[in-house]
Structure 1
Amino acid sequence: MVRNNSFLKEIDFTKEELNDLIDLGLKFKELKKARIPHKYLEGLNIALIFEKASTRTRSAFTVAGQDLGMNVTYLGSGEIQLGKKESVIDTAKVLGSMFDGIEYRGFKQEDVEALAEYSGVPVWNGLTDTWHPTQMIADFMTLKEHFGKLEGLTIAYIGDGRNNMANSLLVTSAILGVNVKIIAPADLQPEAEIVAIAEQYNNGAELTITDDVAAVKGVDMLYTDVWVSMGEEVDFKERIDLLLPYQINADLLAKAENPNLVVMHCLPAFHDLNTEIGKEIYETYGLAELEITDEVFQEHSSTIFQEAENRMHSIKAIMYQSLKSL
């Protein structure tokens, strides 16, 4: 573990360390289900910085911190001076003098790295434009629950292959030795720098980058994410037209030819018209479903919401591992 036991990006950890966090998350899940108290970090204080809106990450860090006995303070983007009237470095020094740990969910990876460097306390990356490492522990924890193992699995991410989820899945799979395919249009495939990182830290995984949807054949898991990330400015119609052939639907599942296939999504998902944005998209473009159809979403909803719940258990493991020696 590096930088005062911070959790900033996947490559800061070995295969063994990531597997330990996955297994620890499973143990914390057992304690939670059995209603066994585990206030192992009682009396500590943590701050949650959110420059980007959140449902799962905020809820997971809040409940996980409280279950571990910690006092949790939420600091929204409109409530603090981070990057506006006060630099990230100055903010880090102030918060580090008051809190025992800091979560950051925002835009720049450099900002979470600076918080870790100058705060003097563990910092956890709740999401940046480049990486989403806490999601990875939950995702591979979910896979291990389903298949009983990670070795020998092949997973595929399909859609926008340049976002933080695709980056993290590619690199984390490589570290863990899990075969991974990033299936995306040529213009939306991972940057060469990300692919190089995955190759550098690869522990025997087969890494595939392709624009051919037929590559889903034989995979154990299909993963997708929204087609436009938070804060991204693009021609939405152009993006939709480019990615519609990469939608997870019944035809794509048939191409996988695997009756034991699971589908995962980090949420939120645009699979129906039950959101304001979903209705706006339908009124503008005539599409009721985007990256995943409602039929497939409902069929695999138990896994998708299991994955969402596992955010809490995995984050609990991450924070405990960081703070247990205090």
Structure 2
Amino acid sequence: MLMAPRHFITLMDLSKDELKTLIARAIELKAMRYANKRYEPFKNKVLAMIFEKSSTRTRVSFETAMSQCGGSAIFLSPADTQLGRGEPIEDTARVLSSMVDCVMIRTYAHEKVELFAKYAKVPVINALTDMYHPCQLLADIQTYIEHRGSIQGKKVAWIGDGNNMCHSYIRAAHQFDFELAIASPIGYQPNANLVAEFKEHVSLSTAPAQAVTNADLVTTDVWASMGQEKEHAKRAQVFAPYQVDSHLMSLAKPEALFMHCLPAHRGEEVSAKVIDGPQSVVWDQAENRLHSQKALLEFLLAD
């Protein structure tokens, strides 16, 4: 009897030890890439990439990961599939997973990815939903470890919208055992049930200065995510006190790092001086999407 496939819908789908091993493997795969070592574990493997939300880093990193490791990827937008014309997710999942080796989905409703995984015969990867962005967290943790060593016991400050990235940081705090201080305005705070579930690792306030004080890592995201463009003017007013600028960074530890999942709006959620400054590791963070996702694909596609 065939075993049920492993999926990566949230960070909770892997154990703490599996996540640590995966990050270590990502660092190894990065070193191999820099040493020009040929490594093709995905030969004859095909990844289907379903995009209902556009992307730069997610598409390029997954497609490149498959290509560099000997496999291939198929890009599917709503216009390219019957999903865009109302075919039930269950039907698409059954058909697509009979033809490819893995499916990556970037969409709005988190329930779509969960439903797809329920009916798929191959691993399904959440490449972003309105609720979570676990692939980005793999890259973020890898980046921290490369620059500063273990993140266990460190203080991470999340400043701004309590969005899908914030939700993934909440779960990461539990899985990687760090302290997460969130500062978000009232009405834009993260899911209350999630905060309550992981309260041992998470603190919530409306004060950016309080969250950032003595932090080892400061991270933020855009004030209006995809699908929220009409709210931009209102959000810009509400979030104005939440810009990560030089003064705010000065409250963190001197060796603190700054991260942003990109794309960034300089002069809004972060000042140009911070994102382009010496504490910023956003370019390493972006590149590490490639390496951490190679490790993830290797883990999920392992025979």
TM-score by length of 2: 0.95
Larger mean Cα displacement after TM superposition, 302-311 or 229-238? 229-238
Structure 2 residue 167 is matched with structure 1 residue 167: yes
CA-CA distance at 1:300 after TM superposition: 4.4
Task: Say whether the 8 Å CA contact 1:3–1:117 is kept in structure 2.
Answer: no
Task: Say whether the 8 Å CA contact 1:88–1:114 is kept in structure 2.
Answer: yes
Task: Say whether the 8 Å CA contact 2:221–2:264 is kept in structure 1.
Answer: yes
- Structure 2 counterparts to residues 1-326 of structure 1, below 5 A: 4-82=5-83, 84-161=85-162, 163-199=163-199, 206-215=201-210, 216-232=212-228, 235-256=231-252, 258-271=253-266, 289-300=267-278, 303-325=281-303
Amino acid paired to 1:214: A
2:130 match: secondary structure: coil
1:117 match: secondary structure: helix
Task: Say whether the 8 Å CA contact 2:224–2:231 is kept in structure 1.
Answer: no
CA-CA distance at 1:152 after TM superposition: 2.2
Aligned length, in residue pairs: 300
- The percentage of counterpart residues that share the same residue type is 37
Unaligned 5+ segments in structure 2 are none
1:104 match: secondary structure: strand
Larger mean Cα displacement after TM superposition, 234-243 or 170-179? 234-243
Q: Distance in 1 between matches of 2:159 and 2:241?
A: 10
CA-CA distance at 1:233 after TM superposition: 5.9
CA-CA distance at 1:304 after TM superposition: 0.4
Residue deviations 1:140-195, cap 9 Å, x none? 0001011111222111110112x100000111112211111111112211121221
Task: Say whether the 8 Å CA contact 1:160–1:166 is kept in structure 2.
Answer: yes
CA-CA distance at 1:108 after TM superposition: 1.3
Q: Distance in 2 between matches of 1:111 and 1:176?
A: 27
Task: Say whether the 8 Å CA contact 2:274–2:280 is kept in structure 1.
Answer: no
Q: Distance in 2 between matches of 1:190 and 1:152?
A: 22
CA-CA distance at 1:227 after TM superposition: 0.4
CA-CA distance at 1:77 after TM superposition: 2.1
Unaligned 5+ segments in structure 1 are 200-204, 272-288
Cα-Cα RMSD: 1.6
Task: Say whether the 8 Å CA contact 2:7–2:13 is kept in structure 1.
Answer: no
TM-score by length of 1: 0.88
CA-CA distance at 1:293 after TM superposition: 0.8
Task: Say whether the 8 Å CA contact 1:134–1:311 is kept in structure 2.
Answer: yes
